[in-house]
């Protein structure tokens, strides 16, 4: 029970940290180019994971496994996913962007069924359909209140779906820290590419530097808390608490950016989160029945 409570607490803290990271990124991107934000975050993340690997005595980032097809596919997904997500939270209201992003677990389930041959029953198919319907409710294309910038979040969800599915196919010999470090390095390259296209790189001032440092610190601590939560407690117990990220995002949006979600955003958020929680419950029940059958 102590491990379960600690795992839940760490998961909630990690989601709060990611919301704070998003806040700092959105603040920084309002004053300096988005490509520069991506480059700084990617470079900082690369150094962080390289140092973490060295401290823990794990394989370093320099490895021929980087060229494995699944790793290359994952890095491509990281580039598309992170680039789309950061552009989305920069250009669109944080609350709406975070709500759409909650469809990621459903998108991963859909991709696993279509491309990895994972068995998905009609109930989880229904949850996936309902979740994507919730995304449409928030974005409401063609209607008043439609914000095209939210489509960047959809691109981000697609990229991160590729990232998560490719991770499952990565060679066993590849360490988790290596995978994370390579993803950050890919984002650094993406940031430089965006800056080459748009130009306008600037030397961050004191406040912008603090925002960038705050984003990196929040992101690194959140990554550690998330990893630790998944290690010490059952995934079926901690996964539902990932959705509290939306609650923290709404608080940040309300307090820092003076965002006031409308009825459509509230309704779509409820649909997405409800569908995700139902899918998690069905998956947990499926595993419980499978383990019971195996025991017999």
Instruction: Tell me the pLDDT tens digit for each residue of 25-58.
Output: 999 999 999 999 999 999 999 999 999 889 988 8
Q: Is the pLDDT of residue 211 over 60?
A: yes
Taking only the tens place, the pLDDT of each residue in 137-185 is 999 987 777 899 999 999 999 999 999 899 888 888 888 888 889 999 9
Q: Which two tokens stand for residue 5?
A: 């409570």
pLDDT of residue 293: 57
pTM: 0.88
Percent pLDDT > 90 in the chain is: 59
Tokens found for residue 116: 């990895």
Cβ-based neighbours of 105, under 8 Å, separated by 6 or more: 239, 242, 276, 279, 280
Does the pLDDT value for residue 269 go beyond 70? yes
2: Cβ contacts below 8 Å, ≥ 6 apart: none
């Amino acid at each position: 029970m102590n491990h379960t409570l600690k795992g839940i607490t760490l998961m909630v803290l990690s989601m709060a940290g990611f919301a704070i990271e998003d806040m700092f990124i959105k603040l920084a991107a309002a004053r300096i180019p988005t490509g520069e934000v991506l480059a700084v975050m990617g470079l900082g993340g690369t150094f962080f994971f390289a140092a973490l690997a060295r401290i823990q005595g794990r394989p370093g980032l320099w490895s021929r496994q980087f060229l494995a097809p699944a790793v290359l596919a994952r890095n491509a997904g990281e580039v598309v996913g992170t680039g789309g997500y950061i552009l989305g939270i920069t250009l669109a209201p944080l609350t709406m962007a975070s709500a759409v992003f909650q469809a990621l677990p459903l998108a991963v389930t859909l991709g696993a069924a279509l491309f990895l041959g994972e068995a998905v029953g009609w109930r989880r198919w229904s949850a996936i359909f309902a979740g994507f319907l919730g995304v449409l409710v928030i974005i409401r294309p063609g209607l008043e209140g439609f914000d095209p910038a939210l489509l960047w979040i959809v691109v981000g969800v697609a990229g991160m779906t590729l990232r998560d599915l490719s991770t499952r196919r990565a060679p066993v010999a590849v360490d988790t820290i290596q995978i994370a470090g390579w993803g950050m390095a890919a984002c650094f390259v993406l940031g430089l590419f965006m800056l080459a296209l748009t130009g306008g790189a600037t030397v961050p001032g004191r406040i912008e530097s603090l925002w960038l440092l705050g984003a990196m610190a929040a992101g690194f601590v959140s990554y550690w808390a998330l990893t630790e939560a998944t290690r010490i407690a059952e995934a079926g117990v901690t996964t539902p608490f990932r959705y509290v990220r939306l609650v923290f995002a709404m608080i940040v949006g309300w307090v820092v950016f003076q965002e006031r979600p409308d009825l459509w955003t509230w309704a779509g958020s409820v649909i997405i989160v409800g569908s995700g929680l139902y899918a998690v419950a069905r998956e947990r029940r499926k595993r419980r029945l499978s383990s019971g059958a195996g025991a017999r």
